[in-house]
Amino acid sequence: MSVAAHTTPSGYLLPSIHSAPPFFTKQINPTTRSIADDHWARIILGYARHRRLFTLRVEDAETSGNDWDEIFRNERINRRLLPDHLASLISSMVTNNLAVYEPPKQTRSVLLYWRRPEEWADVLHSWVASTGQMNTIMTFYEITDPPVESPLSSLPIVILRKAIDVLSKSGRAQIIAIADGEGVRFFPGGSKI
Amino acid sequence: MALRRYTRSVDGTIPVQALLYDDEELVAVQDSVGIYDGSQKSPEHQSGTIHLSTHRLFYIDSQQEATQSFALDLAYVTQTDHYGGLFSSSPKATLYLTAPSSSDNLGLGTITTAVPAFESWECEVCAYRNPPGLSPSAARICSLCGVPRSAVPAPEPRATSLPSSPPVSGTTTPVSHDPTMSIACPACTFLNHPSLSVCEICSTPLPRVKHSSERSFSAKSAPASRPRSPDDETVPRMIKISFRKGGDKAFYSALKRSLKGKAWENNERGTPSERHATTRSGINGILRVVESSAQNRENDLQDSLQDLEALMNKAKEMVRLAADLNEKLTASASSGPSASPLNTSINSDSSALVPVTEPEEATFIRSSLAQLGLQMANTPVTLDMMKDDRKWFDELARELAGILQGSSRSGNGSTGTGLLGERGILPLDEVWGGWNRARGVALIPPSTFLQVIPLLSSYTDPPIRRRTFASGLSVLHTPPFTDAAFAARLSGLLALSGPKTTIEVAQEEKMAVGLATEMIDAVEQGGYICRDDAQAKISGSSGGGAELRWWANIFEGYSWDGQSDISQA
């Protein structure tokens, strides 16, 4: 068995534990299982950040050929993550506030919080400041799909909204209803990064 | 001549009880009798035993029982006479025989068809399969519904004859029942079977037009076609039983009783059975018969259980007697120095204590006791040996310890391995079963067993303790099989030789797979190991039983060596 760390084709460095077959089995012992779950959550979030993936579905473990193949399947030791194992991982991540069910009221797919909404708020505010768009009204679309690639590109609206909520609470942003939907205006001030 | 004509030879080596019909009973027995054929002595039948049953007389010859024994149907006896004896002449009973002329065929038919009478047959009214073994007359009616058998077997085996085949004339004794002869009930007009006396539907008595002709079982049979021997009329048809050693009076009166009882006659006839017959026919009768047979079976069962209980009591006395005897022997033989202060049966291993100079009789008695399995060394501790419960449990624990570990029990170090043997762990049920098997008598109930177990550790070396797994399975184990010791051993094994399946672990530890599963589960609960389920295989999980491999806990103490989270700002 190979116990060394491994770098995936996409350049993500998998920890050595990912090459141990027991890692792919749902452990019965609660202590052991919580350790394994923590490691899984770390791998999932790290990989999601690496690939800028925001959603994770239980189906991702059922089929091959999707974005998550590199971590959910380990051909070198002939192991894969079983869907029900992934489902339990997801639920433990939601419990630990590392993800949120999206859409709500189901447990098959989640939005991953590889940045917490507060962190996203800071990222958003500094991006707005750095691009000189303070005090202008922007649509959500302008934020998530800017002409120049940004840290916020393709950010799901749900997370964006949460980030704006955080900013508006500290007085750094304001939601404004505009003709065809909603817009947001950012203000400098408050706590600076 | 009379003898040969009316008797049937039987195999006297078979006990008479086995020759009887199911509905026949043995009434009297007399030995040292001789038989006269007519007025002359029958030379081959001069010393034997005569048995009287409700149906027959059996003569069992004392010398040539296989060939010279015979049976005589009491149905042929018309008259009897008793002769008290005079001087050297022994008392005799004379039996005048007649073949009842009207039912001559019946009689001879019975003789010749004796074998078919012993086969089972199916009643054509109620389809009840009548068992074999009834007397010929009883076999003529269905024992469940009481309807006469329609076709009595022909002399030749009637394996192929249909139940509804018309009666063959000659030796058959049919109750003819053409369908047209059914008796219409005067009340409800239901066409009843001719042999019923009351209507099957409404229980109205039926007109018995056909009854008189039915009574003689030869209504349709042809006149006797068998040629009679010329001396039939001249020779007096009688046999005498000569009682050489008395007993004649009692036997004669029993004979009279049997003759009067006429048990061989179909009990559908006769005055007292008229009412009986009505209850025996129809649905009601069937129900009653079934009920009474169930009752009989229950009675039999109860009787046998009582017998068993009585036997148990006797056995207990026997054991006590043996114990007393052995105690006395031991006391007299060993003059005391080697006797241990604890005079309980456990450690007073008799063979070890008794010196070689034991008297011969004592040795003999002891060896016969041993043959009976009543050796004192085997005698289990029972409650009545002990003064109080506390001591009783202590002794039981001592005994169980001996059984488990063997060595302490077998006195002078003989190679007796106990129940535990080489294993260090045993399920509780196996221990309990093994203990009771070793005790043989005075078995220990599980409740007592459970009370004894906590005391066990102080009598065993190394101490044996009880352990209950999460599943509820309880075991007795030696120290190497405590959870901690086993976990350490298992982790060591896994670290040394890589992942193992449960079966491999069981082989390594020489224990049952089920037990190993329990043990490993307990270790996993403790977090020393983790599992790798082959179900998570990408390929090659060929449907079979999902293989589970055990790994040393790789998660414990693992430090992250993957991509650092801070790599991206």
> pLDDT means per 10 residues in chain B (569 residues)?
75 80 82 84 85 86 83 83 82 79 43 51 77 71 72 45 46 47 81 79 73 44 47 64 85 85 61 47 79 93 92 84 78 54 43 51 69 54 66 82 65 53 80 82 83 84 84 86 87 86 86 86 87 78 65 83 60
Pinpoint the alpha helices (H) of B262-359: 273-280, 282-333, 350-353
Residue A44 sits at the chain B interface (C-beta within 8 Å): no
Decide if A33 contacts A22 (C-beta within 8 A): no
pLDDT of B297: 93
DSSP helix/strand/coil, B33: strand
DSSP helix/strand/coil, B346: coil
Place of tokens 């707005």: A128
Quick one: tokens of B274? 């008229």
Q: Which residues contact B122 (CB under 8 A, 6 or more apart)?
A: B128, B129, B130, B163
Residues of B in contact with A73 (CB under 8 A): 538
d(CA B493, CA B551): 10
d(CA B416, CA A10): 69
Decide if B435 contacts B449 (C-beta within 8 A): yes
DSSP helix/strand/coil, B485: helix
At B122, phi and psi to the nearest 5? -110, 130
Query: Does A79 contact B538 at a Cβ distance shorter than 8 Å?
Result: yes
Distance (Å) from the C-alpha of residue B426 to the closest C-alpha of chain A?
A: 26
Partner residue opposite A21 with nearest CB, options B532, B539, B565: B532
Quick one: B117 exposed, middle or buried, by C-beta within 10 A (0-12, 13-18, 19+)? buried
d(CA B81, CA B256): 10
Calculated CA dihedral for residues A26, A29, A32, A34, nearest 10 degrees: 70
Distance (Å) from the C-alpha of residue A168 to the closest C-alpha of chain B?
A: 24
d(CA B266, CA B282): 18
State the Rg of chain B over Cα: 40
Give the residue on B whose Cα is nearest the Cα of A76.
Answer: B538
Nearest by Cα to A45 from B561, B565, B568: B565
d(CA A121, CA A127): 10
C-beta atoms surrounding B244 within 10 Å:
15
pLDDT of B356: 47
Percentages of chain A per state (helix, strand, coil), in multiples of 5: 45, 15, 40
d(CA A120, CA A132): 18
Q: Worst-scoring range by mean pLDDT, A55-59, A93-97, B233-237? A: B233-237
pLDDT of B546: 61
Residue B531 sits at the chain A interface (C-beta within 8 Å): yes
Calculated CA dihedral for residues B435, B436, B438, B439, nearest 10 degrees: 120
Report the run of H or E that residue B494 belongs to, with start and end.
Answer: helix B483-497
d(CA B535, CA B537): 5
d(CA B46, CA B32): 8
Pinpoint the alpha helices (H) of B205-281: 211-215, 248-261, 273-280
Place of tokens 């008794």: B354
d(CA A154, CA B289): 92
Give the residue on A whose Cα is nearest the Cα of B524.
Answer: A29
User: b/e for A104-140, b at 16 or more Cβ within 10 A?
Assistant: eeeeebbbbbbbebeebbbbbbebbeeeebeeeebeb
Partner residue opposite B537 with nearest CB, options A31, A35, A79: A79
d(CA A185, CA A136): 6
Query: Does A5 contact B561 at a Cβ distance shorter than 8 Å?
Result: yes
| Segment A55-66 mean pLDDT | 84
Tell me how long chain A is.
193
Pair type for strands B77-83 and B191-192: unpaired
* Selected residue of B497, B533, B565 to mutate for chain A interface (largest A Cβ count, 10 A): B533
The distance in angstroms from the start CA to the end CA of chain B is 131
Strands laid side by side in the A99-101 sheet: A55-57, A109-112, A99-101
Distance (Å) from the C-alpha of residue A85 to the closest C-alpha of chain B?
A: 10
Partner residue opposite B536 with nearest CB, options A25, A36, A43: A25
ipTM: 0.77
Place of tokens 């039948």: B45
pLDDT of B373: 53
Residue A79 sits at the chain B interface (C-beta within 8 Å): yes
Query: Does B568 contact A23 at a Cβ distance shorter than 8 Å?
Result: no
d(CA B329, CA B335): 11
C-beta atoms surrounding A164 within 10 Å:
24
Give the residue on A whose Cα is nearest the Cα of B531.
Answer: A22
Residue-by-residue DSSP string for B513-530: HHHHHHHHHHHHHTTSEE
At B47, the amino acid letter reads S
Query: Does A21 contact B551 at a Cβ distance shorter than 8 Å?
Result: yes
At B245, the amino acid letter reads K
Quick one: A35 exposed, middle or buried, by C-beta within 10 A (0-12, 13-18, 19+)? buried
Task: Compute the count of residue pairs across chains A and B with CB atoms less than 8 Å apart.
Answer: 93
DSSP helix/strand/coil, B498: coil
d(CA B431, CA B425): 10
d(CA B111, CA B118): 12
Domains by residue range for chain A, with CATH: 6-112 (1.10.10.570), 117-186 (1.10.10.10)
Q: Which three-class secondary structure string do you get for B43-107?
A: CCCCCEEEEEECCEEEEEECCCHHHHCEEEEHHHEEEEEEECCECCECCEEEEEECCCCCCHHHH
The sign of the torsion formed by the CA atoms of A104, A110, A111, A117 equals positive
Residues of B in contact with A78 (CB under 8 A): 537-540
Domains by residue range for chain B, with CATH: 2-98+237-280 (2.30.29.30), 308-374 (no CATH), 383-552 (1.10.10.10)
Query: Does A32 contact B538 at a Cβ distance shorter than 8 Å?
Result: no
DSSP helix/strand/coil, B121: strand
Q: Over 80: is that where the pLDDT of A62 sits?
A: yes
Query: Does B563 contact A22 at a Cβ distance shorter than 8 Å?
Result: no
